[in-house]
Amino acid sequence: MDHQSSKLWTKQFIVILLMAFLFFICLQMLTAGYPAFISDIKHNPAQGGLMTTAFMAAAIVTRPFIGILMHKLNVKRMAIFSLIFVLLAIALSYKLESVPILLLLRVFHGIGFGIITTLLSTMATNIIPNHRLGEGIGYYGLSTSLGTSLGPMLALSLMAAFSFHVLILLSVLFTAIILILSFSIKSSSKTDGKPTNNQAQSLIQYAFDKQALLPCLLIVCYFISLGGVVSFMNELGKEANLGGTVSLFFLTNAIVMTVIRPISGHLYDHFGHKVLIYPAAMAGIIGLMLLYFTYNTTTLLIAGFFYGLGYGVIQPSLQALAVSRVAQDKKGTANAMFFSSMDLGIAIGSSGLGVVANSTGYHTMYAYSVLPILLLIMIYTFTFVINKHKDKTIKKAS
């Protein structure tokens, strides 16, 4: 591939965006559906959150192996076989109500999810021109974020009108469509960029790159709050007597992210991440605090606007930062680390905030979910503002 080409909108890029969009819709339909389903039949939100935690934990454990496999195996075949695996894991969930068996299937689904999301994001970043990295990842992030926002909305609407089992059938259909699209991906024996002689292709070298660590740590903080948003919004709606209108939160998210993603991508390419992180983090905090006060649809929609604004800016900005800090042949590693960090954040948020909700109720839980975003601001400020200022002062003194 010609990385210096200025052309962004190629056929391959469009296919990858479509696959990512459908895959994340499917993913988030189930991420929202399982906790709601288990909470209803078992009357235990912590047990419902465990369904998401098991899924994310499986993806986190799987991803470190993907970096080296992408340098050794055919990427297209990996995608096809992984999608078949995911399709079977979802299909076998149909009509099941046994929590242990569903947990096992969620683990299998999580393994496939870890592989597919890493493959798609790496294929996308490999074909995005370097000087348009922020813009390209912005559009890729738009496809995943739209799926992330529309998936829970669709799930809650389907479960209100039909049942969780209909949700499973639709997820199987979407996965089948993604599988068909995967056959149009250009075959690749490995990811672009050859390892240097100093890189022995060991697991640790392709599972981890310290240059990508900081953006990954920051996204964990933000996605802890997202774990609570995705897993327990339906329960908040019940607590606030909002009924089916709670799904409008995710619709508002989707609309805001559709508008902001291309803008934030251009800003990143021209001005860097520093003009984006603080406003995005504050928007997320405002959205969560508004959920704490939400007892009517108007407040819910405003909360969706602010949270969508924060999420729509911060995720692609930090991903672009992670990818830009590593060598060309380590982009797969950076993407794997970044998506594992997103999964880790959601896993912590789903289980941890589920425990908080058991003790405090869902409104108060969303107030507590502000804390990890405040931690993000503190880490970011110390690393990129205070430390940079110290480095400049030392250089001037010397």
pLDDT 10s digits, 352-362:
888 888 888 89
Q: Are the beta carbons of 39 and 235 closer than 8 angstroms?
A: yes
224 occurs within a structural domain: yes
Write down the pTM of the prediction: 0.73
Q: Return the residue matching tokens 């240059």.
A: 211
396 occurs within a structural domain: no
Q: What is the mean pLDDT of residues 130-138?
A: 77
Say how many C-beta atoms besides its own lie within 10 A of residue 25's C-beta: 26
57 occurs within a structural domain: yes
CATH of the domain at 383: 1.20.1250.20
Q: Residue 52 has which token pair?
A: 């998401």
Alpha-carbon span 382 to 390, nearest angstrom? 10
Alpha-carbon span 148 to 144, nearest angstrom? 6
Alpha-carbon span 24 to 335, nearest angstrom? 16
Start-to-end C-alpha separation, the chain? 44
Residue-number span of the structural domain to which 171 is assigned:
11-190+209-389
How confident is the model at residue 5, as a pLDDT?
Answer: 57
232 occurs within a structural domain: yes
243 occurs within a structural domain: yes
pLDDT class of 57 with cuts at 50, 70, 90: confident
pLDDT 10s digits, 273-296:
888 999 999 999 999 999 999 999
Residues comprising the chain, all counted: 398
395 occurs within a structural domain: no
How confident is the model at residue 398, as a pLDDT?
Answer: 38
How confident is the model at residue 219, as a pLDDT?
Answer: 95
How confident is the model at residue 280, as a pLDDT?
Answer: 95
Residue 393: pLDDT over 70: no
Q: Are the beta carbons of 372 and 380 closer than 8 angstroms?
A: no
- With vertex at residue 340, the alpha carbon angle to CA 24 and CA 168, rounded to the nearest 5 degrees, is 30
Alpha-carbon span 352 to 223, nearest angstrom? 12
Query: Dihedral, CA atoms, 64, 68, 69, 71, nearest 10 degrees?
Result: 150
Beta strands in the chain (DSSP E): none
Residue 44: pLDDT over 70: no
How confident is the model at residue 197, as a pLDDT?
Answer: 44
Q: Are the beta carbons of 282 and 302 closer than 8 angstroms?
A: no
Name the domain count of the chain: 1
Q: Residue 296 has which token pair?
A: 């009517």
Alpha-carbon span 222 to 349, nearest angstrom? 10
Alpha-carbon span 111 to 89, nearest angstrom? 10
- Of 335, 314, 313, nearest to 324 (Cα)? 335
Alpha-carbon span 142 to 127, nearest angstrom? 17
pLDDT 10s digits, 329-339:
777 778 778 88
Torsion 165-115-228-22 (CA) sign: negative
Alpha-carbon span 45 to 320, nearest angstrom? 35
96 occurs within a structural domain: yes
195 occurs within a structural domain: no
